[in-house]
Amino acid sequence: MLALRLPSGTGPHHYTVVLYAQLVNFTAPSAPAPNPGVHLSKGDDLTSYISSAGLGMPPTGSYFTVEVGTATVNVSPTTAVDSATFSASSTAT
């Protein structure tokens, strides 16, 4: 669960939520933190984390944009992505 406490006037904030299957013998990498609900910040290397954790491709995910007050951007609608169209080089192993 995300508890967003955004200061007014800071513009749009973009969030991505990705769900991975967790193996029985899963051990979280030491960086950025071995806690449930790991929050990666700008500059964290998500690809390395996924690889170190042995997570593979995520079965699902979503994203959203939040802004306090009057919106300053228009967010375009999207459509579902067919993961079969991903190249092998863009997936973590």
Per-residue pLDDT tens for 67-86? Answer: 888 888 887 777 777 777 76
Whether 6 is covered by a domain: the verdict is no
Residue 76 C-beta-side C-alpha neighbours within 13 Å: 2
Q: How many domains does the chain have?
A: 1
Residue 89: pLDDT band (50, 70, 90) is: very low
Cβ proximity of 54 and 23 under 8 Å: yes
Whether 84 is covered by a domain: the verdict is yes
Looking at residue 17, what is its pLDDT? 83
Whether 67 is covered by a domain: the verdict is yes
Residue 14: pLDDT band (50, 70, 90) is: confident
Q: Which domain holds residue 48?
A: 13-90
The DSSP symbol for 28 reads: -
% of the chain at pLDDT higher than 90: 0
Whether 43 is covered by a domain: the verdict is yes
Whether 7 is covered by a domain: the verdict is no
Q: Which residue shows structure tokens 């997570």? A: 55
Cβ proximity of 7 and 66 under 8 Å: no
pTM over 0.75: no
Strands (E), the chain: 13-19, 60-66
Whether 74 is covered by a domain: the verdict is yes
Distance CA 24, CA 84 (A): 26
